[in-house]
Amino acid sequence: MNETLTDKLGVLFPDNRCRQVLDSIVMDVAPDTLVRTMERLKTYPDLGFTMLLDITAVDYLTYPEETSTRFKVVYVLRNWSRNWLLQVVVEVADPERGLPSVSTIWGAADWAEREVYDQYGIVFTGHPDLRRILNHWQFKGHPLRKDYDIRQGQICFETDSLEREIRARLATKGVDESTMRDINTEMMFLNLGPSHPATHGAIRIFTALDGETIMANVNEIGYLHRGFEKTAEHRTYNQVIPLTDRLNYCSALLNNIAYVKAVESWLGLEITERAMFMRVVLSEFFRIQDHLVCLAANLVDMGGLTNYWYLYNEKEASYDLISRLTGARLTSSFTRIGGMYRDFYEGWEADMEHQLAAIEKGVDDSLSLVLQNRIVHDRTQGTCLLPAETALSYGFTGPNLRASGVAFDLRKDNPYYHYDAFDFNVPVGSTGDIYDRIMVRFEEIFESIKIIRQAMKMIPDGDIFVFDHRYVLPPKEQVYNRIEGLANHFKLIFEGVKVSAGEWYDSFEAANGELGFYFVSDGSGRPYKLKVRPPCFYAMAGFHTMVEGEMIADAVINLGSINIIGGELDR
Amino acid sequence: MSLTLFNVILAVVIAISFVGLNAAYLVWAERKGAGLFQRRPGPMENGLWGLLQPPIDGVKLMTKQLLIPGGVDKAVFITAPVLAMFPALVSFVTIPFSDNIIAHPIDVGVLLIFAFAALGSMSLLVAGWSSRNKYSMISSIRAVSQAVAYEIPLMITTITVVMISGSLNLTDIAARQLDGIWAWHIWPFQDDVGFNLLMPISFLVLFVCSVAETNRAPFDLGEAESELVAGFHTEYSSMGFGLFFMGEYANIVIGASLTTVLFLGGWSCPFGDLGFFPLTHNVGWFLLKIYLIIFVFIWIRWTFPRTTIYGLLNLSWKYLIPISLFNLLLTAALLKVF
């Protein structure tokens, strides 16, 4: 399959070097041909890379091998229908001069380039609004550069008025204020958030209102930015796992699994069958939790508080099961490279089956309040539309993308962990309105329950760890009684799992969409660079296209329907 | 002290304590009701079934500091909560709890209630306006457009009933419906007007309007906590907030009473006059009816999500007002014919 892509790229771009890394093709592109190449990659029907998944940069300042330039920028592209993944690598000779912006080609590039600029100081010429995004606007320096010391804190406190940005947005929207001036009135600017009941965290949604209609919208994020990527560079690979808990904290275990899967796939580590099935069961269980939280909060935003209890009660009860299994309710940290932290406890099947039945009942009860409810229909159908093309351009993934009618699900399209052996459907919406997003999540809960039931029947007995002590801690009696065990233990704890040098991208279908990890390893036990591709960062980047022209009340429920999780958004 | 003055003071004290107790315990009932619909116990900790929760909440509210944010229009800001409570209190004067329990029978009782209801929505306007908060202002604009839209069908429907009964006095209106359940105005057949199919629909119109007039879910757009934080009372703390809260529940009782008197026979027993314990009997039926209606209010609140402002206004201007106007004309014609 990737052979054909390599052939096609070889014909179309004969000057560019291509190589295969895991299941993606990496292509080097010269800066001056970047925009033209990208346009062709997107628009040529043979290639059709409609999605820009992520943009990130790598700073090779302290990399052991010599590189021609200090910075490289990596664009991760996807053709979802053919399961092609392409990384375009561009060398940056001078970050001040930077690279040409591709934000006219993909909407997703807008925020992605801002993030690269913020973290690495690489300028994108032609970008409409190149500002910091995760760090505060008063912040000095670029934190992900290798010469920025991790202990170098800065105190920034002045708020950003955003008025210039929203006026620019009004101008691009072509909003005519002359009628308003004629009747002696003006546009009202309203902040929804950062502290607002609807933001479920801290996001600032800045709107220009005509009455209650949103004429323009600019969003400010970064309130929960805690330097995940910088911290990860100073931890061993296993020590990063607790950090991943805090990405999407509604489905912490999914992040754990996604992270270790990304590391294991580079190491070529085949985990045991039991561990694989455990990961399937747990990731589907956490997908359900994530959807329950999202739906409950979304319906509360609409004013339907009773739904909250029907859905959240089951989520609470599930957390009891989760805490019995992992020892923690929220931050599970349950995976390790090479397997799982612990096996299931005795009698977990009964608990799980009991909980699944309870979830089915809670969801059915909630659906009985929603499905035939005229008010819900009136409010959600046809509002905040997200056409498939816009969704792809902005890099929407997961349930949000599927609600727009694009049946892209990594579990089906690029199966891992035997997902191709399970019988499940991918629910797809028709118009991409709020109703579709709600219903896709409701349906996915039932599909996930189906997968768990199948996996529970198939789960084999056996070990949950690979016994390769280059990666996995030896059992305690070996540590205490044998010198090899002790040495393995010591090296793994102090130096971490040694990961051979290289750069790779691996992705996982998380509850919110494609959760990707871009790694650069220098061969040591700590990641040289670790970039997360959080699904809701790109959903938030496209938020303004959905709410402009709608009412405040619609914007509020739309924010709930795309499921923004602050921890993942801001990292 | 003369007997009249004593009577007046007694009536006022009873009215205020009735309103106050009702407001406090309706909050409790609302929370218990929410618990019932949401499979949770509701207030449990203070007293039996949490029955001591309302007085404790009251004490808490009264001992809190009354914060007045900088830059507000102070006089108006302080007046607004009083303005919310006062009309509700006065409206109770004309509510006939039974044939002889009424604070002061007024010949234009219906008119008085509407006049004070309008004053009540005024309080939301000034509260939102004086708070100097954009959310509050949006909320008060919503509340006023909602009040304007829903007072019209409410009044037209009431006029229909007034035409049938030929009186603006609430006691007279109720007294017409004393002969058992079939004499109530809710049914499509009336002695004087023959057969008016639209009467049950009029009742529904009135009921919907009273839900909207009291700013209850699904029409609680003024508060809309997920969009406008807390709406017009965002900036109010302590008893300022408490008065808005009590005013809201007092208005619910007024709305339920009005519905009962206009359509459900007031204090009449559904089985006709049974002839025993006339005093408690009558009041008992009246209270039973209003609390049943309030239960339906609570039920609706915890079942439906909030509408949008356009949905709300469309419902009134496109459906409720034409229906009620049509019924008014039909009733007038039928009155002329029969």
* Mean pLDDT for the stretch of residues A514-518: 91
Whether ipTM tops 0.85, in short, is: no
Neighbours of B120 (CB within 10 A): 25
Cβ of A46 under 8 Å from any chain B Cβ?
no
**Omega before A194 cis (within 30°)?**
yes
Cβ of A371 under 8 Å from any chain B Cβ?
no
Quick one: pLDDT band at residue B3, thresholds 50, 70, 90? low
- Residue A526: inside a domain, yes or no? yes
| Domain, as residue range, for A315 | 235-535+547-570
Statement to judge: residues A245 and A112 lie in one domain: no
What the block records as the tokens of B10 is 């007694």
How many folded domains does chain A comprise? 2
Write the DSSP string, B153-172: HHHHHHHHHHHHHT-S-HHH
What the block records as the tokens of A459 is 């789960």
Q: How far apart are CA A74 and CA A507, in angstroms?
A: 15
Write the DSSP string, A453-467: HHHHHHPPPS-SB--
B193 pLDDT exceeds 70? no
Every domain of chain B and the residues it spans: 66-337
* Mean pLDDT for the stretch of residues A513-536: 90
- Residue A229: inside a domain, yes or no? no
What is the Rg, in whole angstroms, of the alpha carbon atoms belonging to chain A? 24
What the block records as the tokens of A170 is 């009004």
Q: How far apart are CA B180 and CA B231, in angstroms?
A: 44
A93 pLDDT exceeds 80? yes
Answer whether A533's CB lies under 8 Å from A54's CB. Answer: yes
What is the percent of chain A with per-residue pLDDT over 70, rounded to a whole number? 99
Closest Cβ–Cβ partner in B34, B40, B309 for A212: B309
| Range scoring the smallest mean pLDDT among A193-197, A206-210, A430-434, A456-460 | A193-197
Q: How far apart are CA A485 and CA A467, in angstroms?
A: 12
Write the DSSP string, A322-333: HHHHHS-SS---
The pLDDT of residue A8: 77
CATH number for the domain including A521? Answer: 1.10.645.10
The answer to whether the CB atoms of A303 and B38 lie below 8 A apart is no
Cβ of A305 under 8 Å from any chain B Cβ?
yes
Closest Cβ–Cβ partner in B40, B304, B309 for A373: B304
Per-residue b or e along A425-454, where b marks 16 or more CB atoms closer than 10 Å to that residue's CB: eebbbebbbbbbbbbbbbbbbbbbbbbbbb
Statement to judge: residues A356 and A495 lie in one domain: yes
Taking contacts as CB-CB distances below 8 angstroms, the residues of chain B near A303 are 217-218, 220, 224, 226, 304-306
Higher pLDDT, B72 or A404: A404
Quickly list H helices, A76-211: 109-120, 163-173, 178-182
Closest Cβ–Cβ partner in B225, B305, B311 for A299: B305
Q: Which of A125, A143, A169 is the last residue of a domain?
A: A125
Q: How far apart are CA A103 and CA A395, in angstroms?
A: 12
A1 pLDDT exceeds 60? no
Answer whether A253's CB lies under 8 Å from A283's CB. Answer: yes
Question: What is the overall mean pLDDT for chain A?
Answer: 87
The answer to whether the CB atoms of B310 and A551 lie below 8 A apart is yes
The answer to whether the CB atoms of B226 and A198 lie below 8 A apart is yes
Q: How far apart are CA B88 and CA B196, in angstroms?
A: 33
What the block records as the tokens of A475 is 């059992």
Q: Which of A125, A147, A179 is the last residue of a domain?
A: A125
The pLDDT of residue A292: 92
B226 pLDDT exceeds 80? no
Q: What phi and psi, each to the nearest 5 degrees, are found at residue A417?
A: 45, 45
Question: pLDDT per residue over B106-128, tens digit each?
Answer: 888 888 888 888 888 888 888 88
Which of A163-177, A505-519, B46-60, B223-237 has the highest average model confidence (pLDDT)?
A505-519
Do β-strands A339-340 and A513-521 pair in parallel, antiparallel, or remain unpaired?
Answer: unpaired
Q: How far apart are CA B138 and CA B190, in angstroms?
A: 44
Quickly list H helices, A44-127: 109-120
- Residue A199: inside a domain, yes or no? no
Do β-strands A99-100 and A124-125 pair in parallel, antiparallel, or remain unpaired?
Answer: parallel
B237 pLDDT exceeds 90? no
Q: At what angle do helices A273-301 and A252-267 cross, to 10 degrees?
A: 140
Distance from CA of A196 to the nearest CA of B (A): 7
Comparing CA positions, the residue from A32, A9, A55, A229 lying closest to residue A125 is: A32
* Mean pLDDT for the stretch of residues A259-273: 89
Distance from CA of A314 to the nearest CA of B (A): 12
User: At B54, is the secondary structure helix, strand, or coil?
Assistant: helix
**What DSSP state is assigned to residue A216?**
E
* Mean pLDDT for the stretch of residues A65-76: 88
Q: What phi and psi, each to the nearest 5 degrees, are found at residue A288?
A: -60, -45
Residue type at position A176 = D
A518 pLDDT exceeds 60? yes
Question: If phi over 0 gives left and psi between -120 and 50 gives alpha, with beta otherwise, what is residue B320?
Answer: alpha
User: Strands across the sheet with A71-79, in order?
Assistant: A18-21, A24-29, A84-92, A71-79, A51-59
Helix (H) / strand (E) containing B325: helix B321-337
CATH number for the domain including A48? Answer: 3.30.460.80
Q: At what angle do helices A434-458 and A273-301 cross, to 10 degrees?
A: 150
Quick one: pLDDT band at residue A287, thresholds 50, 70, 90? very high
Residue B238: how many CA atoms within 13 Å on its side-chain side?
Answer: 8
Closest Cβ–Cβ partner in B39, B138, B305 for A303: B305
* Mean pLDDT for the stretch of residues A179-206: 83
Q: How far apart are CA A391 and CA A402, in angstroms?
A: 9
| Range scoring the smallest mean pLDDT among A333-337, B251-255, B280-284 | B280-284
Taking contacts as CB-CB distances below 8 angstroms, the residues of chain B near A299 are 305
The pLDDT of residue A41: 85
- Residue A468: inside a domain, yes or no? yes
Give the bridge partners for A191, in sequence order: A206
Q: At what angle do helices B238-263 and B74-91 cross, to 10 degrees?
A: 30
Quick one: pLDDT band at residue B2, thresholds 50, 70, 90? low
A440 pLDDT exceeds 90? yes
- Residue A406: inside a domain, yes or no? yes
The pLDDT of residue A448: 92
Taking contacts as CB-CB distances below 8 angstroms, the residues of chain B near A551 are 308-310
> Best of A187, A192, A213, A309 to disrupt the B interface by mutation (most B CBs within 10 Å)?
A309
* Mean pLDDT for the stretch of residues B143-151: 86
The pLDDT of residue B191: 63
- Residue A540: inside a domain, yes or no? no
Quickly list H helices, B74-215: 74-91, 109-130, 134-165, 170-175, 199-213
User: At B241, is the secondary structure helix, strand, or coil?
Assistant: helix
User: At A85, is the secondary structure helix, strand, or coil?
Assistant: strand
The pLDDT of residue A9: 77
The pLDDT of residue A286: 92
Q: Which of A109, A125, A141 is the last residue of a domain?
A: A125
A523 pLDDT exceeds 90? no
Map tokens 């830059």 to a residue. Answer: B71
**Omega before B322 cis (within 30°)?**
no
B273 pLDDT exceeds 70? no
Statement to judge: residues A119 and A239 lie in one domain: no
Neighbours of B48 (CB within 10 A): 7
What the block records as the tokens of A264 is 């294991």
Per-residue b or e along A386-411, where b marks 16 or more CB atoms closer than 10 Å to that residue's CB: bebebbbbbbbbbbbbbbbbbebbbb
* Mean pLDDT for the stretch of residues A48-75: 88
The answer to whether the CB atoms of A197 and B302 lie below 8 A apart is no
| Range scoring the smallest mean pLDDT among A335-344, A447-456, B268-277 | B268-277
Q: How far apart are CA B258 and CA A122, in angstroms?
A: 69
Q: What is the 3-state secondary structure (H, E, C) of A463-507?
A: CCECCCCCCCCCCHHHHHHCHHHHHHHHHHHHCCCCCCCEEEEEE
Question: What is the overall mean pLDDT for chain B?
Answer: 82
Cβ under 8 Å to A: B residues 38-97:
38-40
Cβ of A314 under 8 Å from any chain B Cβ?
no
Q: Which residues contact A159 (CB under 8 A, 6 or more apart)?
A: none
What is the percent of chain B with per-residue pLDDT over 70, rounded to a whole number? 93
* Mean pLDDT for the stretch of residues A292-313: 88
B61 pLDDT exceeds 70? yes
Statement to judge: residues A305 and A444 lie in one domain: yes
Residue type at position A458 = M
Question: If phi over 0 gives left and psi between -120 and 50 gives alpha, with beta otherwise, what is residue A378?
Answer: alpha
What the block records as the tokens of B52 is 């001591």
Residue B237: how many CA atoms within 13 Å on its side-chain side?
Answer: 8
- Residue A518: inside a domain, yes or no? yes
The answer to whether the CB atoms of B305 and A313 lie below 8 A apart is no
Quick one: pLDDT band at residue B286, thresholds 50, 70, 90? confident
Quick one: pLDDT band at residue A436, thresholds 50, 70, 90? very high
What's chain A's length in residues?
571
The pLDDT of residue A439: 92
A180 pLDDT exceeds 80? no
B278 pLDDT exceeds 60? no
Cβ under 8 Å to B: A residues 160-219:
188, 190, 196-198, 212
What is the Rg, in whole angstroms, of the alpha carbon atoms belonging to chain B? 20
Closest Cβ–Cβ partner in B135, B305, B311 for A304: B305
Q: How far apart are CA B37 and CA A396, in angstroms?
A: 37
